[in-house]
Amino acid sequence: MRKTPGVSGGVRKKMPEGKKFFLASIPFLILVFAFAYVPLMGWAYAFFDYHPGMSLFDCDFVGLKTFAKIWANKEELFRVMRNTLALSFFSILGMPLAVIFAVMLNEIKSSKFRKLVQTTTTLPNFISWIVVFTLAFAMFSTDGMVAGVFRAIGVDKVVNFLGDNKHAWLFQWSLATWKCLGWSAIIYIATIAGIDSELYDAAHVDGANRMQTIRHITIPGLYSTFFVQMLLAISNMLSNGFEQYFVFYNPLTADKIEVLDYYVYKIGVLTNDYPQSIALGMAKTVISVILLFSANQLSKRVRGESIV
């Protein structure tokens, strides 16, 4: 072991690599604890008749009354859950698109063109939903570019996708797919890069063409990663996100795009019913944990491996 003389003439031992990594991760662990675990103390408000400005010690303890209040409005809750699960189901069905895109990108021979395509498709992930809404409004509103093109070719009846309740789910899923496709494909691109190149060499020696190598080497090499991603998506079915549906929310499509995250915001911020919004968040967290461990059990039975 290498020894370095200290200032006092002694010997200073080299710090182990594992200890270095642990010390480097401490700031991030503190951030996770501060933003993911400390807020859990706020769950206590769900069991009190809390009003803004009051101390928790001055509020009346109501027990599970807040949870019963949620169930009393079950028709609205069922509608919100329908939208949440439907949009999550569309997202899960669209997961193979990222795999297909990663495979197609890997088959591009020109490295410069491949980097250009990857950068172009990844960039939308870093654009805020407010900017996406601005672009969508400029393109798909009644006076937008798409409507103008259709009117120019003689089509008078143009669908206003921003206010079309019938196609709201498909439109929102398409926007989310466009925004996240390149970013979602990164993990599959990294997986493809980790596949043993000798497998491709052996396939070419045996006379396999490009489609045969994709079918028998590349796609099987992505099975494990895709399965883990799908199980994680199942465990997060109640988390559609908030920003997208907040900026696209309007009275015409409210019945279809009011998801659970937006519903919690509406109850807590717009109606000032903080205990009920916290109770909804608690129920969402508990159900998500149950889905996660259910997906983990499915992984153990199907793949023989655990994801938790």
Return all residues near 260 (Cβ < 8 A) that are at least 6 apart. 80, 81, 84, 238, 239, 240, 280, 284
34 is a domain residue: no
Taking the chain (308 residues) in runs of 10, the rounded mean pLDDT of each run is 51 71 89 88 88 81 86 87 93 93 91 91 93 92 82 78 88 93 93 89 87 90 88 86 91 90 89 88 88 82 72
- Residue 60 belongs to domain with CATH number: 1.10.3720.10
266 occurs within a structural domain: yes
Instruction: Please tell me the predicted confidence (pLDDT) of residue 62.
Output: 86
Q: What's the whole-model pTM score?
A: 0.81
Domain that residue 120 falls in: 45-303
C-alpha 149/C-alpha 139 separation (Å) is 10
Specify the pLDDT at position 1.
Answer: 46
Tell me phi and psi for residue 164, to 5 degrees: -90, 105
Give pLDDT, residue 204: 86
Q: Considering the domain boundaries, does residue 38 fall inside one?
A: no
Q: What is the pLDDT of residue 13?
A: 67
Is 23 contained in some domain? no
- pLDDT number for residue 67: 87
Residue 1 lies in a domain: no
Q: How far apart are CA 42 and CA 39, in angstroms?
A: 6
Number of independent structural domains in the chain = 1
Identify whether 155 is part of a domain.
yes
